[in-house]
Structure 1
């Protein structure tokens, strides 16, 4: 089995922005699901995302849609794309503990050649100071959460192949910001290419890694979908020639020889 995976946020991003304000309230929210698959036509051309207020005060929010393109290393480029969807409600105020279903309707056209990826951003809005709180320079945390929305043409299928796989020294992240990095551990680096018209969510599968260990003996590791989700998020690979490179920590080190990767449902 594989253990000690680093948690990597690929299917969603959570950003806490400190805003200097005189309000003392700190808000928190939840957005689910964090990955939504849609089609350009039919019943799946609509979707629902739920926003929940987890704090003890009201939560004002607004939504934005951006088109997102992924580089092989997971870095993203976003461009505004609100015109590709009808979102209702586009904004709102949630009382303490309340939930709001945000509905999405695809209106970007039925004939797109391959899957497209978007972010639905749910942005908490800063609030004004309440009477009697004074004008002190206090910090209000404003949360921005993103759900990955992927829209595909009907009938499209992925076609994912392994372009490269090799042993690496994997660097686990620090436990929290500012902490020193822990020692490196054995890992693998795997590059995937998708020539199909539909995106792939590779964390929904099980990965089998086969090669030779550092002792020269055959080594076979099975990576569960749960472990992959913790390590690489959804394992999103774009369609139409999209490439993604993922690194995983493994419990036993592979040697310098070739590593074969198989995918099981």
Structure 2
């Protein structure tokens, strides 16, 4: 589950017997919602690019993320209204699943959920065999208080060697009541010598972070440690890091 939050791996769930693999897609992979008002509604779209009908069921679990990125999930059934909760998407068709937050409209702290959009097995034609690929796509949905905004700060930064490569390890804090995302931030790293002089500087934009690290959720009132997968130049005895938060686009 750790990689689900960090990099949203979408794809294969299981393999069973049938005659044809069914292709599907789900968007978006991340949704940022509010606890009331217009922001309390959204939608997930599932597409069927195959020539066969595609049965789909949507389920929800709440995610708890540790400071090191470990994720535990708990199924929930009473926090969202999903319509429809299951559907059969026709060949080449698209199905929109409406999502509405029906939990506490005055929540004090944001929460993170995982929506599983899972393909269901279909009945086999008597006398046939083959491979059926069942896909389970997952969308991360965060709900925060309507007036809250994330406030990500870097409380610690240091060099670390990973596989012989020089990397940066950052500890992020989010003292706000809203769910924050490293992937909604610009991060600037500077290597400084013993006199405090900057010997190199590198900046990573939100799209680079999303592509290489993933969503990077930092829960409200929590800290989270990240080792960035970017090779850093030699030189510099200390690491200075700055973050500017833009939010999910």
Q: TM-score, normalised by structure 2?
A: 0.88
Equivalent positions of 1:27-176 (< 5 A) are 27-133=22-128, 136=129, 138-171=130-163
Please report the RMSD computed on the Cα atoms of aligned residues, expressed in angstroms: 2.3
Alignment check: 8 A CA contact 2:190 2:198 kept: no
Rounded to whole Å, the distance in 2 between the matches of 1:18 and 1:189 is: 35
Alignment check: 8 A CA contact 1:51 1:101 kept: yes
Query: In the alignment, does 2:235 pair up with 1:243?
Result: no
Rounded to whole Å, the distance in 2 between the matches of 1:86 and 1:221 is: 44
Structure 1 255/27 Cα, relative in aligned 2: closer, same or farther at 3 Å? farther
Instruction: Name the counterpart of 1:196.
Output: 176
Count of matched residue positions in the alignment of Structure 1 and Structure 2: 241
Structure 1 236/67 Cα, relative in aligned 2: closer, same or farther at 3 Å? same
Rounded to whole Å, the distance in 2 between the matches of 1:48 and 1:258 is: 45
Rounded to whole Å, the distance in 1 between the matches of 2:7 and 2:59 is: 17
Alignment check: 8 A CA contact 2:5 2:216 kept: no
Q: TM-score, normalised by structure 1?
A: 0.83
What secondary structure does 2:39 align onto? Answer: helix
How much has 1:237 moved relative to structure 2?
0.8
Query: In the alignment, does 2:180 pair up with 1:185?
Result: no
Rounded to whole Å, the distance in 2 between the matches of 1:128 and 1:250 is: 47
Rounded to whole Å, the distance in 1 between the matches of 2:100 and 2:158 is: 42
Structure 1 224/209 Cα, relative in aligned 2: closer, same or farther at 3 Å? same
How much has 1:114 moved relative to structure 2?
0.7
User: Which is further off, 216-225 or 76-85?
Assistant: 216-225
Instruction: Name the counterpart of 1:4.
Output: none
Query: In the alignment, does 2:28 pair up with 1:16?
Result: no
